[in-house]
Structures are given as C-alpha cells and as structure tokens.
C-alpha cells in the first residue's frame, strides 16, 4: 500500500512492480539528520540503479517543501508528501505529526523483505545496500 503525491502527481507501489523499492520514512526536510540521510541515498543512487532498485522518501512535508529540498540537495529520486500521515501510519512509521525514521525494502513482487528501525543517517544507505545485496543473492522468488 503506497499512494501519495509528489511534484509529479500520485505514485503507487504498483508503479514499481518488477523493481526493488527502498521506501524510507524521515521526519522533516532540511533538518541535519534527514539531509544527511538523503545525501547518502543520492550519493549511492547509481549503486541502487545497478541493483534495479528505486528509492522513495516519505515525510509529512508538503510538495513545495520536497521540491525545494530536492533542488537544494540535488536529489534525483521521488519524495512523497504524506501530509496527513496516511502512508506513514500504514507502515507503522507515524509519530502523531511526523514520520519516524524507518526504512523498508520491498521486492519486485511487492513483498516486504526487510525493515530498518532506529536508523543512523550517516551509515544507513550502506546498511541498506548490504541488505539489498544479501536479499538479491538469495533465490527470493523460490520462496513465494
């Protein structure tokens, strides 16, 4: 379940069927930890693309804030404006008025394969890449 607005309109997890998805929730644009986390995902974006993986960020900030954040940080992946927390709540990543810092890896069939709680922004992208490599090395389709 994922449907929220970006500057490009609505997107849904089904838009990424056949790809891995790293769905990461974060509290707020332009804060130090959130900026560092986004920068690391952007820095590693070619590695994610090599692994047939789409990164999607989610926070309660609006589309305008996300557009400014993407422009300021050179982000080339979508950020979802989950203003009412609907998507965050569905993933258990909502704290009353903002998203918690959680990350989910979803396989090409739309099945949740990994959850990261208590994320450390400076090293998180590397942790996600390592987990993604582990998941992709297993015959994940055989278990479905």
Q: Which 3-state string (H, E, C) describes 51-86?
A: CCEEEEEEECCCHHHHHHHHHHHCCCCCEEECCCCH
Which CATH number fits the domain that encloses residue 28?
3.40.30.10
How many domains is the chain built from? 1
User: Confidence class of residue 138 from pLDDT cuts 50, 70 and 90?
Assistant: confident
Residues 28-34 have a mean pLDDT of 97
2, part of any domain: no
Active-site residue, from 21, 23, 34, 70:
34
For the full predicted model, state whether its pTM sits above 0.75. yes
109, part of any domain: yes
Q: With 50 as the cut, is the pLDDT of residue 13 above it?
A: yes
Q: Is 34 designated active site?
A: yes
Q: Which domain holds residue 46?
A: 19-138
Length of the chain: 144
Percent of the chain at pLDDT above 90? 83
61-111: pLDDT as tens digits: 999 999 999 999 999 999 999 999 999 999 999 999 999 999 999 999 999
């Amino acid at each position: 379940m994922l449907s929220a607005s970006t500057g490009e309109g609505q997107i849904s997890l089904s838009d990424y069927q056949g790809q891995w998805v790293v769905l990461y929730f974060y509290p707020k644009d332009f804060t130090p930890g959130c900026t560092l986390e986004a920068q690391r995902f952007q820095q590693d974006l070619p590695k994610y693309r090599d692994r047939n993986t789409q990164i999607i960020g989610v926070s309660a900030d609006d589309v305008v804030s996300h557009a400014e954040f993407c422009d300021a940080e050179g982000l080339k992946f979508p950020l979802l404006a989950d203003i009412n927390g609907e998507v965050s709540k569905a993933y258990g990543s909502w704290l009353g008025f903002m998203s918690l810092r959680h990350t989910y890896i979803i396989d090409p069939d739309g099945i949740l394969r990994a959850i990261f709680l208590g994320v450390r922004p400076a090293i998180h992208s590397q942790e996600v890449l390592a987990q993604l490599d582990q998941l992709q090395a297993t015959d994940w389709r055989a278990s479905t």
